Structure 1
Amino acid sequence: MEIRLFREYLVLSKLLNFSRAAEQLGMTQPVLSRHLKYLEEQFDAKLLNRNTHQVELTPTGQLLAEEAEKIVVQYEATFHVIREALGKSQSSLSIMFLGAATREFFTDFLVRFRKHHEAVEINCCDTDLDAIPDALDRHECDLAFLIRPDHQINDKQFKHIELFKDPLCIAVHKDHPLTKKEQVSITDAADYPIIGVDKAVSPLSGECNSYFLERYGVSYGPDVVSPNLPTCCFNLELSTNAVVILPKHQTHLLGKNSTFLRVAEADCQFNVELIWDPKNRNPSISLFIDELDAFLKDHTGL
């Protein structure tokens, strides 16, 4: 049985969402479903229960997830030991990034890195916020560019380098009452129905919005739930009274009937960061970090 099937199953067992798992793995959902069916046939057991509302592991599915993780870890450790014994150090990096938030910066930096380290193979994947922590923890990726509120940077599990700030904005219909105000506060958003991402689908994305509101004593619903931010912005086109809270780099998602307003509070902004797991022994990580430090010194305006 191919090791990639276990890797795919581990992603699916963690996300419990076929579309998100397929996107993270860079494959189509039907292919992922076929691979799951193959595993179920091999073990002659049902691994996941699916209905219109949720996906959950069966007891056998949970057992396979635990055993598959041991197999993948041992597989990677064996390759690492043999390559070290042969004097062949690891020379590849797997990197995740968050679309428009980091694409331009990442592209500029990667051009420089490849000039100085041509032997290091770089594998990149555009993903969503919720997929990154688990991928780093499992060492399915080595580094990740992400965006998160500043209160989250003190986690002890990952190291990080802050790159730049991205301000929080409130998106509204062009006929919304807030467009008449000279300054808009984060608390102003609480006076109107909030269209937001479903926390059950994207917990970390939902937490980002709730954090900014709860910091100012406002509880976060949202009033209208959407599966993702593009859908939130689409629904905003149809409402002259609702608001969508989003970072500035995502304002390109707004339609022709919508606009965005910068939030007045100076502490309502995101950090754009690079994070990695210090327990990951890939030697190419230190090369990447050193090169990034030099790049940032040459680009102090970021």
Structure 2
Amino acid sequence: MQTRVLKYFLTVAELNNITQAAERLHITQPTLSRQIMELEKELGVKLFDREKRQMHLNKAGVLFQQRAMTMITVLDQTKNELLAVNDQLSGTINIGMVESAVSDFMMRAVQKFQEKYPDVRFNIFDGDGDTLRERLDQGLCDLVALIQPIEAAKYNYFPLPVQEKWGLIMRKDDPLAKRKAIMAHDLYQLPLVVGRRNIVRDDITDTLKIDLNKLDWRVIINLPENAKQLVLSGKYYHFGIYGVYQKYHDERLAFVPFSPTKTTGHLLAWRKNVQLTPAVEKFIQFVADQTTHKKI
């Protein structure tokens, strides 16, 4: 199976139209149709449901699309790794990070690193902790910046000097916004928006001694941006971190911390027993040194 054919397939899957895909790929429509049919024959399954001029992925096609994207990504990473094995540091570093104050810290690190090593490029992926760990396990990310705690047994990691305070995000005109702190009993029966990572949620609720049976987890999210409109409606409260409130950057909202105060740290993690590229190794050491000397 050739890489070229995988890219042909992914283009057709994106456009759902063989003619448009052929135009983008600068090949003839009959050639592209033949390549897709030969791919299906090689795999032994149909990948598309065909309707006149439209082609839509079936269940097998959706699964193969995910695998094909992974294969292309890994192949591109391998090429970059081979290019990086020389005297001039180069290549691409794939970093995943949660949407919190750690992103500002990491972006400063990226900027300073590229000033020193201009031939190194970065791919940045935003996601929640579960998504980022999946990408790390699949080899799609070299490094991930996560909120503690994490299931650390299978990762190498070190702490980053970024702390987040937990609290409640709500409309500024809400009566609770006038409080200096939110207590556990204030949360009971409120319609809450909360992140999907159970390990983090459990850590917070244990610290605050919250009775989980009295909480109304109304909406569970992976990334916070879509939840902003729910909070602005005045009918939901976001159980989250100050960094999310800052990123909302909306004067109509307010953040009130929990009492007792709960703060959470961050980690930079990478897989154990994996050969890292020189660029990734150098960046890990760079961030570790900057962290130790607090230069970022």
Give the TM-score normalised by the residue count of structure 2: 0.67
Give the match's secondary structure for 1:297: helix
Give the match's secondary structure for 1:156: helix
Correspondence 1:249 to 2:231: no
Give the match's secondary structure for 2:154: coil
Question: In 1, distance between residues paired with 2:222 and 2:72?
Answer: 34
Deviations along 1:228-261, one digit per CA (max 9) or x if unpaired, are 5233222222226x42111111113164433110
Other-structure match for 2:97 = 97
Question: In 2, distance between residues paired with 1:61 and 1:98?
Answer: 27
Question: In 1, distance between residues paired with 2:72 and 2:232?
Answer: 49
TM-fit CA distance, 1:157: 1.8
Q: Which amino acid aligns with 2:143?
A: L
Correspondence 1:276 to 2:270: yes
Structure 1: tracts of 5 or more residues without a match? 10-29, 49-55, 198-202
Rg: which structure is higher? 2
How large is the Cα RMSD of the aligned pairs? 4.3
TM-fit CA distance, 1:126: 3.8
The number of residues matched between the two structures is: 260
Question: In 1, distance between residues paired with 2:237 and 2:227?
Answer: 9
CA 1:277–1:229 in 2, change beyond 3 Å: closer, same or farther?
Answer: same
Between stretches 275-284 and 69-78, larger displacement belongs to 69-78
Question: In 2, distance between residues paired with 1:34 and 1:167?
Answer: 44
| Paired residues for 1:1-302 under 5 Å | 1-2=2-3, 5=6, 33-34=14-15, 42-43=39-40, 45-46=46-47, 58=59, 62=63, 91-99=91-99, 101-119=101-119, 121-129=120-128, 130-146=130-146, 148=147, 150-152=148-150, 154-163=151-160, 164-196=162-194, 203-204=196-197, 208-209=200-201, 211-213=203-205, 216-219=209-212, 221-224=216-219, 228-239=223-234, 242-252=236-246, 253=248, 255-266=250-261, 268-278=262-272, 279-299=274-294
CA 1:87–1:4 in 2, change beyond 3 Å: closer, same or farther?
Answer: farther
| Contact kept in structure 2, 1:95 and 1:124, CA below 8 Å | yes
CA 1:296–1:89 in 2, change beyond 3 Å: closer, same or farther?
Answer: closer
Give the TM-score normalised by the residue count of structure 1: 0.66
| Contact kept in structure 1, 2:73 and 2:140, CA below 8 Å | no
TM-fit CA distance, 1:167: 0.9
Deviations along 1:35-66, one digit per CA (max 9) or x if unpaired, are 89889764261379xxxxxxx98367657867
What percentage of aligned pairs have identical amino acids? 12
CA 1:191–1:96 in 2, change beyond 3 Å: closer, same or farther?
Answer: same
CA 1:31–1:133 in 2, change beyond 3 Å: closer, same or farther?
Answer: farther
Question: In 1, distance between residues paired with 2:177 and 2:71?
Answer: 55
Question: In 2, distance between residues paired with 1:76 and 1:211?
Answer: 35
| Contact kept in structure 2, 1:184 and 1:264, CA below 8 Å | yes
Structure 2: tracts of 5 or more residues without a match? 22-34, 50-56
Give the match's secondary structure for 1:151: coil
